[in-house]
A and B are shown apart, each in its own frame.
Chain A
């Protein structure tokens, strides 16, 4: 270690892109720790409450890019109350004081106020990139601040955020001098935008490569935009429907004909079949296609389009594609790596859309498949065993059977063997979500075979504490465990308390854990925050002083350097 001067060590560390690798080298010796901390440019904070912003920025004074994640994953499904926490402001305020050279900020599942955005826009003269994923708390006023004050902004990427619409003028706030945009994604905005301002912005930003329009943008506007940005690589099409009965089709066809660089396509909110044909010319170059917000597209039109997409690597669709459509994908898309099939009928009352057959077809036609999210009506052990054999390279496997405790419909047995086959065959599996009828046995398999597993999501599964214990004792790389509606209680929770310090977090809701169990865990492990979320009805007499025997409805446990958080609302108790 002392053989090399610091500059050389630092240069070697430059080749380490993963924050985990950098974390590891920093623990080798003090010299390396010092070199590493001064040279780390990209900082990743997986849990905003695990560490204080001041500490992060004191350690990494050269930070240029910061990623912070807030709420637990199950917040996506309304399991976390609205004002639980995850405020981005402390991070932005601290960065404004300590790291004014910040260039990129990525936030996921955090509460971002307009005030935060205003501070962000004014405090960082070199700011280049803002990515917000599944955030909330801001409006188009905050976006107007970003547009107005971030000179040299390259990227504004808004993915699936809840944004309050305060009018369309935010886009006009990009000054005429702004020519630096490379990526602009406002697909999640619900309101109108100033389309002529948008067209002018697109025209002057010659480096624009990614543009994702929202549903308010019609085909007529899209055509004008494409004419000004023929070098786009990623496009979100907007509504893909014409305002008037104009003969937009020919113009659309011509516009797409000139766009030779498009590789990534999404949008199609209201797509009419006849306009879909206009994109056949670019289908053969596509690597990413997201049709998951396009319920208007019928299966047969989808199949016609898919047949052209032989380079496709990533496909997101709705389950209206059916097994028939998936068979067509299996035939055409031999390069497919990631498939996500979302439910079109979220309340599960409709006709069966995709079943195990579609998945089996995909697995046999697409051997490179490594990432799956599949909402379906049923699954069989035989199908999962076949899929495991056909696709041993899964890193992400998420299956969601709409009836969460449904057994194999043919054998009427639980799906333990099927998932067992998946974990046994897919040695690189990092993320797994289970569903269907499952006993403790599936967890025995997971503990035994899923040695690289980092994230596990469990719902309505298992029979006893043994299930959870198999996982905690077996999966040595486990980072995030989230469990709902499963019969795991205090015995399982307290079986291996040291494990939780090796993990980012544990979520348990509607399980059998009691308040006493939570207190015991907190007492044994002072470096964990054991948070219990207490949503109480007015009529519930237990509201004042629940006993230790009382079951907790929601528990969130995470390792932390900060102790109990100081912004916890009154319904969150930290033991």
Chain B
């Protein structure tokens, strides 16, 4: 039956007089060094069984290789969808706002670290049920909150990260005194509309 032979088993390339390494394909972007011996045909894929016969010369890359022009999505579309993830960040008392690209972070921790760096006077402090940022000079505590697509102000951290990225319109670091009005996260778990 059909096999999982790939380009690595090709011998026809010998016809042009080039040796095997020369004709291997790389997934590197164009302009990458030709002398690069690490030619890979396949991308890493968790679904592939470990004894896949895709050829011993494939070294699975550490992360999914960023291939130029793949997947084949028009630049216009790529850029249009990308712009969805930039949100404004306001801090109570600060004179100007910043903007962050939520898609640049893998999760809440990275986001808060970035906010901490951005408004560099703060240090992060982890409370058991929520995250807060503290201004070491005044001791004032700030709670990260966000406005969702419905226009409601929510506490950062309740929903799964991807859901948050999809629904967050803007961020606000709210002074703790103002944050009283947000539903407190009682340890028993109050009923909240999902």
Contacts and interface: CB of A to CB of B under 8 A. Distances in A.
Nearest to A161: B76
A464 B13 contact: yes
A16 B99 CA distance: 56
B80 to A, nearest CB: 6
Contact of B6 (A404, A405, A485): A405
Interface stretch (A84-92, A115-123, A253-261, A343-351): A343-351
A134 B74 contact: yes
A1 B4 CA distance: 59
Interface string A342-386: 111011111100000000000000000000000100100000000
A512 B149 contact: no
A501 interface: no
Interface in A409-444: 409, 412-414, 416-417, 433, 437, 439, 441
B75 interface: yes
B95 interface: no
A245 B84 CA distance: 20
Contact of B30 (A76, A462, A535, A542): A535
Nearest to A244: B151
Interface string B11-41: 1110111100011011100110110000001
A412 B49 contact: yes
Nearest to B28: A510
A384 to B, nearest CB: 14
A490 B48 CA distance: 33
Contacts of A162: 75-76
B45 A403 contact: yes
Contacts of A549: 17-18
Given A400-B72, A414-B4, A512 B16 contact: yes
B72 to A, nearest CB: 5
Interface string A389-408: 00000000000101111110
B31 to A, nearest CB: 5
B2 A348 contact: no
A64 interface: no
A509 B6 CA distance: 19
Contacts of A504: none
Nearest to A463: B10
A441 B2 contact: yes
B73 interface: yes
A537 B45 contact: no
B5 A439 contact: yes
A433 B4 CA distance: 21
Of the listed residues B10, B48, B150, the one surrounded by the most CB atoms of chain A closer than 10 A to its CB is B10
B47 A487 contact: no
A11 interface: no
Nearest to A271: B149
B127 interface: no
Nearest to A461: B7
Interface string A313-353: 00000000000000000000000000000111011111100
A413 B4 contact: yes
Interface stretch (B62-70, B111-119, B184-192): B62-70
Contacts of B6: 405, 437, 439, 463
Of the listed residues B6, B11, B42, B68, the one surrounded by the most CB atoms of chain A closer than 10 A to its CB is B6
B12 to A, nearest CB: 4
Nearest to A466: B12
Contact of A76 (B10, B70, B74): B74
A74 B69 contact: yes
A137 to B, nearest CB: 14
A350 to B, nearest CB: 7
Nearest to B75: A78
B12 A459 contact: no
Interface string A250-278: 00000000000000000000101110000
Contacts of A38: none
Contact of A485 (B16, B27, B74, B149): B27
B109 interface: no
B110 interface: no
Contacts of A512: 13, 16, 18, 23
A459 B4 contact: no
Nearest to B150: A272
A151 interface: no
Contact of A490 (B16, B41, B72): B16
Interface in B60-107: 64, 66-78, 80-82, 84
A162 B79 CA distance: 10
Contacts of B27: 485
Contacts of A346: 71, 73, 78, 81-82
A79 B74 CA distance: 11
Contact of B2 (A76, A416, A509): A416
Contacts of A535: 30-31
Given A378-B47, A491-B15, A514-B16, A553 B78 contact: no
A77 B31 contact: no
B140 to A, nearest CB: 28
Given A406-B45, A412-B49, A510-B25, A79 B69 contact: yes
A162 B167 CA distance: 27
Contacts of B77: 160, 292-293, 342
B12 A344 contact: no
Nearest to A293: B80
A246 to B, nearest CB: 10
B52 interface: yes
A554 B80 CA distance: 28
Of the listed residues B3, B27, B30, B73, the one surrounded by the most CB atoms of chain A closer than 10 A to its CB is B30
Given A76-B74, A272-B149, A404-B71, 12 more contacts: A76-B75, A77-B72, A160-B77, A270-B84, A342-B77, A403-B43, A413-B1, A463-B6, A485-B25, A489-B13, A512-B16, A540-B31
Interface of A: 74, 76-79, 134, 160-162, 188, 241-242, 245, 270, 272-274, 292-293, 295-296, 342-344, 346-351, 375, 378, 400, 402-407, 409, 412-414, 416-417, 433, 437, 439, 441, 457, 459-460, 462-466, 484-487, 489-491, 509-510, 512, 514, 517, 535-537, 540, 542, 549, 551, 553-554
14 contacts: A188-B76, A293-B81, A296-B166, A343-B73, A346-B82, A400-B72, A404-B70, A405-B43, A407-B48, A413-B3, A464-B12, A466-B12, A490-B16, A491-B12
Interface of B: 1-7, 9-13, 15-18, 22-23, 25-27, 30-31, 33-34, 41-43, 45, 47-49, 52, 64, 66-78, 80-82, 84, 149-151, 162, 166-167
The 6 lowest CB-CB distance pairs between A and B, nearest first, are A77-B69, A464-B12, A160-B76, A76-B74, A487-B7, A77-B72
